Amino acid sequence: MLVQFSEAQRIKLQYCLAGVLLALLAGGIYYPTLVSCYGLQDDYSYLWVVTFEHWHYFDLIGAMGRPLYQLLSQQVFALADSICDLNNIRAFTLLTAWGLALQCYGMARRYDWSAIMAFVLAAAWLSAPAIGLIVAWAVTFPYLFALSLSLLAGELVWQAVAKSRFRAGWRLFVAAVLLFTSLLVYQHAAMGYWLVVALVCFSPRGFRWPGWPALLLWIGFFISLLLIYYLFYRIYLQHLIVADSMNLHAAERASITTDILAKLRFLYESLQLTLSIGQFRLWPVLTYVVSAVISAALLREAWRQRSVWPVLGALALVVAVYLPSLLVVESLLKVRLLIVLGLLVLFGLLWALQVLLPRHQWHSVVGLVLIAYLAISEHIAIQRLVELNQAEARAVQTALQEHYSAASNQIAIVRPVPANWDGGASWLIEYGTPTMATWADFARVLVQQLFAETFKTQRLPDVLQCPEANRSDCATLQEQPALPVLDLGHLLREQLAPDWSKTVSD
């Protein structure tokens, strides 16, 4: 006898099943980040701050307008004693990513997405390159929490104006607290607020106009919070600059820009990267395919409704979710800065599939194929990222043990450069380049931190270094014959598996 479920029970069962499947997907993709001892770029800087008690370094985070991120980083990294302890932080981030995916599933269901397509959207977000990098990078642990807060804020604003006018003031107050908190953690993650607007306006049945009251409240609410945040930031920044002038440079990077044309070019380049969606080297083809699919759906809706609002709405959302990068002087094409823009592109692609392939089985099949592609490509990229950075730590520690001692006052290194590394991934330096090749200061703190861990000391040796690309600059190192010179690029290549020789230049 078949068990009969009520509609409410059926929805709860679907929600539980989605949670289990998303947990399995998250574990399958990202388990290498939980079982390996490695650090990635700023991970070493934050550990270095804790090890050598240079706490003022965290003020740089506040100078970039992220005081709550600064406070969280101080508290969390104070609990870490070594790079192996970073696994605990990454485990928390992975749990947050799973919670975000489950939140996405629930939101999509509330905005008329079918159970299977809501799951596909949640799984796509969970498998996105930006999410993968955040899970693999310990210092980014608050990002997804901030994104979750901004999504909830967007929903509360929508409910206040459209769903239930009862207690609308209470909803707006809570939304303001959530969005302001999200801005204090990470400005780019706070742009998740606009993803709710995308879910409301672009339903599986096509574009729907939310009405001027809702639209004006959404925009006015966000601008008001942004202005309050900016005033708070300017006051807080003055405190930091007075406390330590080193924060002035970080503040200049976050200053408002007036070069609109340069920012439009930057937006175009960023959009190209996010349209490539996955990690494999199919990205030039995928950029055109994804662009064509989304454009076709938007034009179809514009033609069907005899209105330009679907196209204008999509363009406005692209600008809105990338606003923090478009407003400031600094233009960095970094995966972590593309987080919300990348999620918007995945949403747009799945929305377009439902519009262009209205038959349920067709867009569901294509969506599941997309998930398989994203999950497999992201798992491969994560494996290689972990392998590269774990080999880097192992190579440095082994070299220090063989050539130096706890009494050493100076360490000489030849630092690899990004031009000599490919790393097997198509997504910028964050996935495919070793930490010590990205920036001279990263190489210094990496060596000093691993020196402290290897010899169980808090002594701070000087690190003399020169770039691998110009060996003539290493002459000063060779003048000290008693000081062994560690060629870190060569040592790293020796630690890596043979298949890396096809993608890494000697």
Q: pLDDT tens-digit profile of 360-371?
A: 678 888 888 889
What is residue 456's predicted lDDT score, i.e. its pLDDT? 85
Q: Read off φ and ψ for residue 202, nearest 5 degrees.
A: -110, 85
What's residue 426's pLDDT? 44
* Confidence category of residue 503, pLDDT binned at 50, 70, 90: very low
pLDDT tens-digit map of 62-104: 777 888 998 898 888 888 888 889 999 999 999 999 999 999 9
Over residues 471-494, mean pLDDT: 68
Residue 463 · residue 444 · CB < 8 Å: yes
* pLDDT at residue number 442: 79
Query: Rounded mean pLDDT of the chain?
Result: 82
pLDDT per residue over 253-271, tens digit each?
666 767 778 778 878 877 7
Whether 389 shows a pLDDT value over 50: the answer reads yes
What are the structure tokens assigned to 205, written together?
């049945």
Kindly give, in sequence order, each residue whose CB lies less than 8 Å from that of residue 56, ignoring residues fewer than 6 positions away.
243, 244, 246
The per-residue b/e assignment along 219-255, b for 16 or more CB within 10 angstroms, e otherwise, is eebbeebbeebeeebeebbeebbeeeeebeebbeebe
User: So what's the pLDDT on residue 480?
Assistant: 58
pLDDT score of 424: 46
Asked whether the predicted pLDDT for residue 431 surpasses 90, the reply is no
46-55, 115-124, 371-380: the lowest-pLDDT one: 46-55
Q: Would you state the structure tokens that stand for residue 264, as one six-digit string?
A: 């439009």
What was the pLDDT predicted at 221?
92
Instruction: Output the DSSP codes for 286-335.
Output: HHHHHHHHHHHHHHHHHHHHT-SHHHHHHHHHHHHHTHHHHHBS-----G
Residue 472: its pLDDT value, please? 57
Give Cα separations from 464 to 15, 28, 437, 448, 483 (angstroms). Answer: 56, 41, 15, 11, 10
Taking only the tens place, the pLDDT of each residue in 128-159 is: 888 998 999 999 999 999 999 999 999 999 88
**Is residue 34 classed exposed, middle or buried when 0-12, 13-18 and 19+ CB atoms within 10 A define those classes?**
middle
Which of 3-12, 331-340, 435-444, 494-503 has the lowest average pLDDT? 494-503
Per-residue pLDDT tens digits for 290-310: 889 999 999 999 998 888 999
- Go through 371-409 and write b for each residue having 16 or more CB atoms within 10 A of its CB, e for each that does not: bebbbbbbbbbbbbbbbbbbbbbbbbbebbeeebeeebe
Classify 177 as helix, strand or coil. Answer: helix
Higher pLDDT pick, 222 / 243: 222
Judged by DSSP in three states, 281 sits in: coil
For a pLDDT cut of 90, what percent of the chain falls above it? 27
Which residue, 125, 106, 15, is CA-closest to 350?
Answer: 125
- d(CA 238, CA 234) in angstroms, rounded, equals 6
pTM for this prediction: 0.89
* 50 Cβ contact list (under 8 Å, min separation 6): 77, 78, 80
Q: Is 119 a residue whose pLDDT tops 90?
A: yes
Is pLDDT larger for residue 279 or for residue 57?
A: 57
